[in-house]
Amino acid sequence: MKIAKYFFISSFIAVTSLSAQTLTDAIKQTTNEQFERADASFKNLLSSQASNGEIYFYYGENFFKDGNIEMAKTIFQKGADVNATHPLPYVGLGKVDWHQGKSTEAKANFYKATTLAAGKNATTLIKIAETYISEETKDFAEANKLLDLAQKLEPKNPEIFLLKGDAALEQSNDGSKAISFYEEAAKLDPKSVTAILRIGKLWNRSKNYTAALESYKKASLIDSSFAPAYREMAEIYFRAGQYNNAVAKYKRFLEINNDCGARARYAGFLLEAKHYTESIEAAKEALKCDSNNVYLYRYLSYSFYDAIPPDYKAGLASSNSFFAKVNDESKIIPQDHEYKAKLLSKNGQDSLALLSFTKAMELQPDKIELNGDIAAIYMKMRKYPEAITFFDKKIAANIATINDYFGLVRAYYFSKDFVKADSATSQMIRLQPDLALGYLWKAKVNVQQDLQNKNWLAKPFYEQYLTKAKPEENKKDLIEANTYMGVYLLNMKDFCAAKIQFKKVQDLDPANLNAKKFLDSPESKKCP
């Protein structure tokens, strides 16, 4: 793969920022994905307002949006403990329950929250509706019902229309209806960068990248400190191959949001963009800030494997660190087992690699292409019947590559099933008729089927191999083919043509005894 030149931000630009002075400021830091700064801000606010349930709710939200569900639950529970009459901590607890699939417990907490709110404001209804829309398990009917009630209470609250847009998009993929809600939110709050970001993401989702980019630019002009807009722009520029622009936008994102989480996400961003070397450097930099971030070890293991040149030893060490440090099985994805298997195999640990490949296949049975990797390991282990079984699975799925057929040829060849090996070479030639390798192995197979050279079955295939072979072909194979053709011509009494073949052998291997024997013979010396 050709990797574009990419400027790596080796030293992240430090941005000094005092802790937020108000709850609105702290919430904005969460929106900006400045989770660590927001953490400090919420702590600062609670130092003087220790029983404020609203602060506890948004503090828990900060952890929830950063993926730390258990800590979010702890904060929500603390809010409920210190202020049992405030509805929002119960919304938070219900949100965690819903996220964890505990719908009965979630609804009990939501009911308690709405009872305590008693229709005084729309926030409680909005936050519950947001959970029903944004989480993996959806309840659009309940969400829309809550949003309609919220709109009656606060008809000009832009957040209601943002969520109605989200619901329309998620429920029926109705982009036109969604954008009308987002535009209404933007009209109610012209400075709402969140509404404009939503519009941009909608365009992005429909692959109208030009319109998406314009929305993100508009958001950044309204609020130059709105970090997510720069990250979204960076991703579009990457997709378009405009790497310098992508770097500039992500650099700006990191200037605004330079916490550990942002650095880690940057490494993941580079991995997704297939800039493996840069992802490795970014992940190493982020580990200096947070050595316990397990995802960084994932990024390193993948990138070390896919980088040019790869570093399989470092990749396996990173993969081992990932599995050693991860403390939640739900964080492990099938690709983690897949990359570990590949890295184990590259490090010569084939038996362990098979175990990891088996696990990867259990988790993603539709990924038939992994059968080729498993077959290749069995080839290394010289377990040819097993290799044949797994090559056949990939071939049956009609996704086999030329390398799979080549593996199958060799598996049959070394199993001494030359009839099936011959059939497999025909498939190789059918797939890539200009590839010399197919003709070479068809010749090898036919040699085994005509050991006494009664019919010279290999001759046409060695001829085709030599016609298609490039100078950089394996020298041993070229010697083999030219020697066979020389012997054939000797048997046909065409000594001058044989001399040409053996001269080629001698050019490739000056010490070759077969070439020397014939070239020194009287028959050879009679030829020019």
**Residue 224, Ramachandran bin (φ over 0: left; ψ between -120 and 50: alpha; else beta):** alpha
Structure tokens at 404: 């799979």
pLDDT of 20: 57
Q: Is the pLDDT of residue 17 over 70?
A: no
**Is domain 333-387 annotated with CATH 1.10.357?**
no
pLDDT tens by residue, 344-373: 999 999 999 999 999 999 999 999 999 999
pLDDT given for residue 6 in this prediction: 27
- Give the other-Cβ count within 10 Å of 240's Cβ: 13
User: Taking 60 as the threshold, does the pLDDT of residue 18 lie above it?
Assistant: no
**Does 180 have pLDDT greater than 90?**
yes
Separation between Cα atoms, residue 437 and residue 423, nearest integer Å: 15
How far is Cα 208 from Cα 226, in angstroms, rounded to an integer?
22
pLDDT digits (tens, 9 = 90+) for 51-61: 999 999 999 99
In the predicted structure, residue 13 carries a pLDDT above the cut 50: no
What string of DSSP letters covers 294-307?
HHHHHHHHHHHHHS
| Structure confidence at residue 367 (pLDDT) | 93
Lowest-confidence region among 18-22, 135-139, 235-239, 492-496: 18-22
Q: Residues 108-117: what's their mean pLDDT?
A: 96
Contact 338, 375 (CB under 8 A): no
Per-residue model confidence (pLDDT) at position 41: 95
pLDDT over threshold 80, residue 157: yes
DSSP track, 186-227: HHH-TT-HHHHHHHHHHHHHTT-HHHHHHHHHHHHHH-TT-H
Residues 6+ apart with CB under 8 A from 451: none
3-state helix, strand, coil in the chain (%, to 5): 75, 0, 25
**pLDDT single digits (tens) 116-127:** 999 888 999 999
Each residue of 457-469: pLDDT tens digit?
Answer: 999 999 999 999 9
pLDDT tens digits for range 366-391: 999 999 999 999 999 999 999 999 99
Q: Is the pLDDT of residue 270 over 90?
A: no
Lowest mean pLDDT: which of 10-24, 124-138, 149-163? 10-24
Name the residue type at position 342: K
- Pure H helices in 83-121: 87-99, 103-117
Q: Which two tokens stand for residue 395?
A: 């071939």
Pair of tokens at residue 63: 């952890």
| Total residue length of the chain | 528
Answering whether pTM is above 0.75, one says no
pLDDT, tens digit, for every residue of 240-254?
Answer: 888 788 878 988 988
CA atoms of 243 and 234, how far apart (whole Å): 8
> What pLDDT sits at residue 240?
84
Element (H, E) at 260: helix 260-272
Of 13 and 226, the one with more pLDDT: 226
CA distance 158 to 183: 10
**What's the pLDDT tens digit per position in 195-217?**
999 999 999 888 899 999 999 99
Give the chain's count of helices (H) and strands (E). 30, 0
Q: Look over the chain and give the mean of its residue pLDDT values, rounded to a whole number.
A: 91
- According to the model, what pLDDT value does residue 448 have? 97
CA nearest 121: which of 161, 160, 92, 93?
160
pLDDT of residue 14: 31
**pLDDT above 80: residue 450:** yes
At 351, list the tokens. 């038996």
Domain boundaries, the chain: 333-387, 474-528
Comparing 410 with 172, the larger pLDDT belongs to: 410
